[in-house]
Amino acid sequence: MKDLFGKALLDYQNGRYTENIITSTNISEEDDLPLPYLFRSFKEMPKLEQKALKLAKGSILDVGCGAGSHSLYLQEKGFKVKAIDISKGAIEVAKQRGILHAEVKHILNETENFDTILLLMNGTGIFQELVQVSKYLSHLKSLLNSNGQIFIDSSDIQYMYEDEDGGVWMDMNAAYHGELDYFLSYKGDEEDPMKWLYLDFEKLQLACETVGLKCELVAEGEHFDYLAQLSL
Ligand SMILES: C[S@@+](CC[C@H](N)C(=O)[O-])C[C@H]1O[C@@H](n2cnc3c(N)ncnc32)[C@H](O)[C@@H]1O
């Protein structure tokens, strides 16, 4: 990993913002990911993220914290927050923004226990592929205190396979429609391709059942997106 995501966050944080990150997937054209969005305030966050932050309690783990916007809000509210990310640049930025406990760490290497675990901005993306969902969910479950909760958001991206007349061109023999190849470039440099998973609520609920987690729909967004609460 070249950590172009982290490089972009560091540039923005340190006054070198000239370009946005460009993303694309195997089923969609190039799109801008505006860097200021990754530094959003509570007011600028989508309603689903605001809801998750309002329901957070106790000790909190922010998984894939990025620039640390969710952690920062919660820390300012007086919560004990740990922010982790596999991106060195992201963790450097989170620290520069004042997150007291930020670490470069893959979620599968986390071992502490928490009352609230957050996975936000398509939190299921980190699972990468459908076959890996139960491994990640089991691990997240092992990190929960007995009254703990996980907030995770995602969306059903079936709409991305629809043509203008509403017809669906999905290959029914292909892999799950939420499994995407994700490409990112920044300032002319290309990141190694990644896998990124969008999971519809029913599939998430089913996967939770298989690992013994309760899965409840907290809220739905305006574009097939949702926030779920997982608990023991
Ligand atoms: C879409 S960004 C979301 C950032 C932040 N949560 C936000 O809402 O602005 C996903 C983040 O997850 C991190 N990430 C990906 N896989 C991870 C893993 N296995 N463990 C921890 N972080 C991971 C990426 O480096 C990236 O910063």
pLDDT in tens, the chain (232 residues): 999 999 999 999 999 999 999 999 999 999 999 999 999 999 999 999 999 999 999 999 999 999 999 999 999 999 999 999 999 999 999 999 999 999 999 999 999 999 999 999 999 999 999 999 999 999 999 999 999 999 999 999 988 887 777 776 667 667 899 999 999 999 999 999 999 999 999 999 999 999 999 999 999 999 999 999 999 9
Best mutation site among 42, 86, 111 for ligand 1 pocket (most ligand atoms within 8 Å of CB): 86
Asked whether 35 lines ligand 1 (CB < 6 A), one says: no
Q: 85 C-alpha to center of ligand 1: Å?
A: 6
Query: What region, left, alpha or beta, does residue 59 occupy, with left being phi > 0 and alpha being psi -120 to 50 degrees?
Result: beta
Asked whether 38 lines ligand 1 (CB < 6 A), one says: yes
Q: Whose CA is nearest to atom 27 of ligand 1?
A: 66
Give pLDDT, residue 166. Answer: 73
Give pLDDT, residue 161. Answer: 84
At what angle are helices 133-142 and 201-211 packed, to 10 degrees? 60
The structure tokens listed for 215 are 């899965």
Q: 213 C-alpha to center of ligand 1: Å?
A: 22
Give pLDDT, residue 170. Answer: 67
Write the DSSP assignment of 35-69 as a string of letters.
Answer: GGGGG--GGGS-HHHHHHHHH--SSEEEET-TT-H
Give pLDDT, residue 206. Answer: 98
Best mutation site among 31, 33, 44, 65 for ligand 1 pocket (most ligand atoms within 8 Å of CB): 65
Q: Whose CA is nearest to atom 11 of ligand 1?
A: 64
| The ligand 1 atom nearest the CA atom of 122 | 1
Best mutation site among 85, 88, 151, 153 for ligand 1 pocket (most ligand atoms within 8 Å of CB): 85
Q: Considering only CA atoms, which of 155, 153, 143, 154 is closest in space to residue 55? A: 153
Q: Whose CA is nearest to atom 4 of ligand 1?
A: 66
Give pLDDT, residue 169. Answer: 67
The length of the chain, given as a count of residues: 232
Task: Give dist(CA 212, CA 5) in Å, integer.
Answer: 34
Single pTM value for the model:
0.97
| The ligand 1 atom nearest the CA atom of 62 | 6
